[in-house]
Structure 1
């Protein structure tokens, strides 16, 4: 396996650091629009693993499908791993296919709200533009594994596992994500510093959330709808969660039988308030506006003035939890409510990888998936989500102690 990774931001940098401990690939190309950032990631890997020679840096424009194709061919890439914001998905997706490579991403192609009824009906859904060409990928014998981060990704693996091993009938697949992370400045004061891409956070939090029901199909609601307090494990505790647009709701019903699918995220009052203000001021817009003769995207400006998520790890404390709350009937015929989850402590990921916990938790899952594909444990053609594959090998490899596995156990609580 020869991997071309597009993007060396927080997640891409963490993925390279994780992959350096594994032996399933021949080469890992770290490509970024900013060549110095790609070089910095490779240097960080070599500093931790002085004998490492499989990582090389390159420059590429992620918006240029032709450039992606050319770089993949230059390095003989068998797999193109998309580790940039989802606004670049389609050029990378099409560029990988043109190069004859398989493709992985952690977020699907972007949605566009319904023009007349955005808070009732879906318009273009997340991933629609990728699923439209699934037949072409299948005909070519190529695989596009979409949504294989943590959420989407690990939560979708949990859905497959729950359907195959824990439940005879599923009422709801409810992805629930929360944390108790705190970022402080040099004086110890708590500061606002999102732990993930602000560009992507604005996109998914201010778009109409999507819900799926068996009798209705996909429909939308108002942003931040249906608040509920969810109790997260391992000391995180109760966090208010709200509906957010997310890929799980678009992926799970395609492969897992259930009556309902939702995604709720624990944002907190401060974060929700900031997002609402950004929307009111038009600072969530992606269309460029003219400022003193220069065209700029308001959302790009917001993302640029906030701390880079890759740099806040040393100032962060706490844990992050991603998981799936499944309700329905167990295999014994009795009612069952089970939360499958993965908790990561920032102190541990900073110590072992020099990566903050949110980006590390996102990055580990595509690396596990790549290893399963390299082994031939996972195989397929077309545009497929994680639910299309056997969950057990993934969960076993993720949790197994190093060096056999990745040493990152997951949990299960019946409630």
Structure 2
């Protein structure tokens, strides 16, 4: 039984808090804080209606470290779950250190003024957390998060070494909008428009954004164009699976999304450089995010499935030569909405955030310092994926997939 403080009130937070309330034997006391308290109150009301559990709510600016420290000391949680924006990772980690509490997030730090997400800023906190006797767990979402755990489960149970790794993220859902993103628009567009990078032969290979694509037939979705992108788990996987010869990340996008995004780029709306408008300084991408549909409003209209998985090729654990395995989860937008009031993209991140939190507060995952998912035992996490809404399957393929 433990007390947790969740920061952020978007779709991922909504799912995470709902799932925590559904595991009341682990999370006895749930607190939720965000800049906009009304969003927290709406989540709390939904949780109360669906589960009967109470959630305490607060207003907080997560970038104000003294205010965060005061809130943490008031709530006295055993864990702070950061589901706010990646820009806020470091101040929340600072607050956790000062208040003496463990930390978990789903996405690594990204500076506001540069579309460049890396783990280096958070890895630099390792000694401070270790000296404080505290644990920080990074990237307990789906990708990063589940994809890293999938990889390490394969390495524990199927493959002695992993030579090639491909992560495939397909959202086959249709939300009925001309253009909308299924998670925070600002973060989504910064990711998509950044140059693609993949790991090959001990170095990073960079290619222009959205230029390399392949077609893949996704179960429960069908054939989709998947585009080579950079994603943060590639950095941690390259570090913690040192024998990797090549690691790539692929994400699907429809033609309409690509067309809209191209036009928005061409007219400057995806820029993060400040401009002056009517005497005020604004950032075009932040303005665009403000006018696009909020991801947490898309649940009711989104139909279809997500399919996210990992294809790994390497030396078989049983000594039978080189083998290829495909491990994946398929999630229904409709079922996710029925259970939590959110679409599957929020669900597939919010559930792993709850699972990582559960493993930390129960002591099944523990340590002192800053850790990535690859450093943890995959088995208890994989068990909870099956029991808490994200069941997975694994199959052996005939050989490496030729993209």
Q: Which residues of 2 match residues 184-223 of structure 1 at below 5 A?
A: 184=176, 191-213=178-200, 215-223=201-209
Whether the aligned pair in 1 keeps the contact of 2:351 and 2:389 (CA below 8 Å) is no
Whether the aligned pair in 2 keeps the contact of 1:30 and 1:58 (CA below 8 Å) is yes
In structure 1, the partner of 2:372 is 385
Which of these residues, 11, 24, 27, is aligned with residue 29 of structure 2?
A: 27
Q: Which residues of 2 match residues 132-171 of structure 1 at below 5 A?
A: 132-171=124-163
Output the CA distance in 2 between the equivalents of 1:396 and 1:216.
Answer: 33
Tell whether 2:82 aligns with 1:96. no
1:156 to partner: Cα distance: 0.6
In structure 1, the partner of 2:401 is none
Which of these residues, 166, 174, 178, is aligned with residue 166 of structure 2?
A: 174
- Superimposed CA distance per residue, residues 254-280 of structure 1 (whole angstroms, 9 cap, x where no aligned partner): 222322222111122222233233222
Whether the aligned pair in 2 keeps the contact of 1:210 and 1:220 (CA below 8 Å) is yes
Distance 1:287 1:89, change over 3 A: farther
Q: Which residues of 2 match residues 43-58 of structure 1 at below 5 A?
A: 43-50=45-52, 52-53=53-54, 55-58=55-58
In structure 2, the partner of 1:237 is 222
1:125 to partner: Cα distance: 5.3
Output the CA distance in 2 between the equivalents of 1:69 and 1:210.
Answer: 37
Output the CA distance in 2 between the equivalents of 1:212 and 1:134.
Answer: 24
Distance 1:217 1:94, change over 3 A: farther
1:124 to partner: Cα distance: 6.4
Q: Which residues of 2 match residues 339-350 of structure 1 at below 5 A?
A: 339-350=326-337
Whether the aligned pair in 2 keeps the contact of 1:112 and 1:125 (CA below 8 Å) is no
Output the CA distance in 1 between the equivalents of 2:117 and 2:48.
Answer: 41
Output the CA distance in 2 between the equivalents of 1:380 and 1:274.
Answer: 45
Whether the aligned pair in 2 keeps the contact of 1:228 and 1:240 (CA below 8 Å) is yes
Aligned residues: 393
Q: Which residues of 2 match residues 2-401 of structure 1 at below 5 A?
A: 2-22=3-23, 23-50=25-52, 52-53=53-54, 55-110=55-110, 126-184=118-176, 191-213=178-200, 215-233=201-219, 235-257=220-242, 258-331=244-317, 332-400=319-387
Whether the aligned pair in 2 keeps the contact of 1:175 and 1:248 (CA below 8 Å) is no
Ranges in structure 2 where 5+ consecutive residues have no aligned partner: 398-403
Output the CA distance in 1 between the equivalents of 2:98 and 2:224.
Answer: 44
- Superimposed CA distance per residue, residues 253-306 of structure 1 (whole angstroms, 9 cap, x where no aligned partner): 222232222211112222223323322222222333211112222111111111
Whether the aligned pair in 2 keeps the contact of 1:111 and 1:127 (CA below 8 Å) is no
Moved >4 Å (runs of 4+): 111-114
Distance 1:385 1:109, change over 3 A: same
Output the CA distance in 2 between the equivalents of 1:363 and 1:144.
Answer: 18
Per the normalisation by structure 1, the TM-score is 0.90
Pairwise CA RMSD: 1.9
Output the CA distance in 2 between the equivalents of 1:217 and 1:105.
Answer: 27
Ranges in structure 1 where 5+ consecutive residues have no aligned partner: 115-122, 185-189, 401-405
Distance 1:112 1:289, change over 3 A: closer
Output the CA distance in 1 between the equivalents of 2:212 and 2:358.
Answer: 38
- Superimposed CA distance per residue, residues 106-131 of structure 1 (whole angstroms, 9 cap, x where no aligned partner): 110126999xxxxxxxx965111111
